[in-house]
Amino acid sequence: MTLNLPGGARMAVAITCDFDAHSPWIGGYRMTSPAVLSRGEFGAEVGVPRLLTIFQDLQIPATWFTPGHDLVTFPEKVGDVLAQGHEIAAHGCYHEVISDLPPGEERRLMEVQLRQHEEVTGRRPRGYRSPSWEFSDLTLGLLEEFGFEWDSSLMGREFEPYHPRPVTTNLETASTFGPPSRIVEFPVSWYLDDFPAVEYVPGVAEEIGSHTVMFQRWKEIFQYAYDRVPGAIYTVTVHPQTIGRSHHIAAFAQFLAELRSLDGIWWATMSSIFDAYSPDDPPGPLAS
């Protein structure tokens, strides 16, 4: 798949913010105590402004994946994000566990979240990121049906966008693939996500990792793409309630400033990258 990177850039960098606030606690972990909800509130009230300041100082556009629940709970902060020209993309209704949903519920929640996007932002999102980067057998078809252009949830590549295919697994014979979707996939990586690296979750992830190790890993992954993958898309995922803590946000600002000093990088939102496809290679169904 061919991308036209502007200004002779050698690669694109996409900074993505999962603006989860309350939703991962009530939807993903099913925790509703004031203690965990206060962590989501910190993300919205402290983490978001800290990130916006850094992005404004460094002139970096970002894509903010925001569950519908957090859109309607913190609409003023969403307005601040939009006021700086950033993109808002879909990220579930309440950070639901996709694989646990009964038949029909995933579709209903898709309708709810899109309605919430229209109510708060005045528009439908062009892109989607599934909660916890999880798909059901129905998710890809729903994205096509509801008119999404791109997704950023899967891990079938590292730096290259691609058209995902449905897969049927068999235990004693080969897995089989369906035809490629018209959806363009911008792959993600747990290695480029702050939450699993340094966040504390009671009873789930109780060993807090080193942010120094995390940023070193991010730099090494970036350097590989910068040196060896022409036309790469390097996608980092951060969460305001995680990266927004003082020791993390200071190191994150330094990390971004170091990358900002390099030549040949196009800093862009996901939809801007989607729009950079060559006219002779439009996103769409491919031959199997």
Task: Quote the domain boundaries for residue 94.
Answer: 6-274
pLDDT of residue 282: 46
Convert the pLDDT of each residue in 131-186 to its tens digit. 999 999 999 999 999 999 999 999 999 999 999 999 999 999 999 999 999 999 99
- 183 belongs to a structural domain: yes
User: Structurally, how many domains does the chain consist of?
Assistant: 1
- 280 belongs to a structural domain: no
- 118 belongs to a structural domain: yes
CA proximity to 182, closest of 68, 61, 285? 285
- 250 belongs to a structural domain: yes
- 241 belongs to a structural domain: yes
- 141 belongs to a structural domain: yes
pLDDT of residue 287: 32
Q: Is the dihedral of CA 259, 260, 265, 269 positive or negative?
A: positive
CA proximity to 51, closest of 253, 263, 264? 253
pLDDT of residue 120: 98
Distance CA 11, CA 234 (A): 8
| Predicted model pTM | 0.95
Which CATH number does the domain housing residue 124 bear?
3.20.20.370
- 1 belongs to a structural domain: no
Spell out the per-residue pLDDT of the chain, length 288, in tens. Answer: 778 899 989 999 999 999 999 999 999 999 999 999 999 999 999 999 999 999 999 999 999 999 999 999 999 999 999 999 999 999 999 999 999 998 899 999 999 999 999 999 999 999 999 999 999 999 999 999 999 999 999 999 999 999 999 999 999 999 999 999 999 999 999 999 999 999 999 889 888 999 999 999 999 999 999 999 999 999 999 999 999 999 999 999 999 999 999 999 999 999 999 999 765 554 444 333
E strands along the chain, which residues? 11-18, 62-66, 87-90, 127-128, 150-151, 167-168, 176-177, 184-185, 232-238, 265-267
- 25 belongs to a structural domain: yes
